């Protein structure tokens, strides 16, 4: 191969390596991009306070709200709703309380993530106050009352009669350290 061809080959190699590196970066760029798109379109904004525009109570309909909570992993927390079920009217302000107890002898950082069943009902249940908006730091043996204030909007589809609000409590921290070790507090995530 002549010198000029070798030079051209190296040139092409250089360009293609740059493309490959850029695409590796693009994979990471999808992370903030995805967050931004979700924020703009309002998808998956489950841990931010909602705003309620219409608070007209619709006495003609009743919805059964069911409450459920669980902790992921084998971590010994207790997260229990004080009441399992409540019948509400669309538009009514609903207060419920969950009890969280850390039964371990270590302090943990935790985050609750809500989910709704049926999924499409979730768009119409607005949370004004929720312990899931912030991470909870619970010391060893500590108990805490966690409030939720929500409104079921009158726009909820007519065929929905029961909505389940379920919280999953996650331990914050990516490494799988032994559970007896003291966890670093704050700064993660």
Partner 1 sequence: MEAVHEHDHSHDHPTGLMRWVTTTNHKDIGTMYLWFSFAMFMVGGVMALIIRTELFQPGLQVVQPEFFNQMTTLHGLIMVFGAIMPAFVGFANWQIPMMIGAPDMAFPRMNNWSFWLLPPAGTLLVLSMFVPGGSAGVGWTMYAPLTVQQGMGMDLVIFAVHILGMSSIMGSINIVTTILNLRAPGMTMMKMPLFVWTWLITAYLLIAAMPVLAGAVTMTLTDRHFGTHFFNAAGGGDPVLFQHIFWFFGHPEVYIIAIPAFGVISQVIPAFSRKPLFGYASMVYATASIAILSFLVWAHHMYTVGMPVEAQLYYMFATMLIAVPTGVKVFNWVATMWKGSMTFETPMLFAIGFLFLFTLGGFTGLVLALTPVDVQLHDTYYVVAHFHYVMVAGALFSAFAGVYFWLPKWIGKMYDETLGKWHFWLSIIFFNLTFFVQHFLGLAGMPRRIPDYSLQFADFNMISSIGAFGFGLSQLLFLYILIKAIRSGEKAPEKPWDGADTLEWTHLPTPAPYHSFETPPTVK
User: Which parts of this chain interact with partner 1 (CB under 8 A)?
Assistant: 1, 3, 5-6, 8-9, 12-13, 16-17, 19-21, 23-28, 30-31, 34, 38, 41, 43-44, 110-111, 113, 119, 168, 170-175, 188-189
Give whichever of 23 and 76 is closer to partner 1, judged by the CB atom: 23
Nearest approach in angstroms of CB 55 to partner 1 is 26
Nearest approach in angstroms of CB 89 to partner 1 is 27
> What distance in Å separates the CA atoms of residue 189 and residue 181, rounded to the nearest whole number?
19
Q: Which of 164, 174, 175 is nearest to 84 (CA)?
A: 164
Q: Is 99 helix (H, G, I), strand (E, B) or coil?
A: strand
* CA separation, residue 126 to residues 2, 45, 98, 138, 167 (Å): 70, 11, 17, 26, 15
Give whichever of 91 and 131 is closer to partner 1, judged by the CB atom: 131
Nearest approach in angstroms of CB 76 to partner 1 is 17
Q: Which of 15, 45, 134, 151 is nearest to 96 (CA)?
A: 151
Give whichever of 77 and 91 is closer to partner 1, judged by the CB atom: 77
């Amino acid at each position: 191969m002549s010198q000029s061809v070798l030079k051209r080959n190296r040139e092409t190699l250089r360009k293609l390596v740059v493309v490959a590196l850029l695409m590796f970066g693009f994979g990471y760029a999808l992370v903030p991009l995805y967050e931004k798109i979700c924020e703009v379109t309002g998808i998956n904004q489950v841990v931010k306070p909602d705003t309620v525009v219409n608070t007209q109570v619709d006495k003609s309909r009743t919805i059964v709200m069911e409450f459920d909570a669980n902790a992921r992993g084998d971590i010994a927390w207790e997260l229990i709703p004080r009441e399992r079920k409540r019948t509400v009217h669309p538009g009514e302000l609903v207060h419920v309380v969950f009890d969280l107890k850390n039964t371990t002898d270590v302090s943990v950082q935790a985050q609750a993530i809500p989910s709704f069943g049926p999924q499409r009902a979730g768009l119409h249940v607005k949370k004004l106050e929720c312990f899931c908006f912030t991470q909870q730091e619970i010391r060893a043996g500590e108990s805490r009352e966690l409030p939720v204030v929500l409104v079921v909007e009158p726009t909820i589809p007519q065929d929905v009669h029961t909505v389940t609000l379920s919280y999953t409590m996650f331990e914050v921290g990516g490494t799988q350290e032994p559970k007896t070790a003291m966890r670093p507090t704050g700064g993660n995530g």
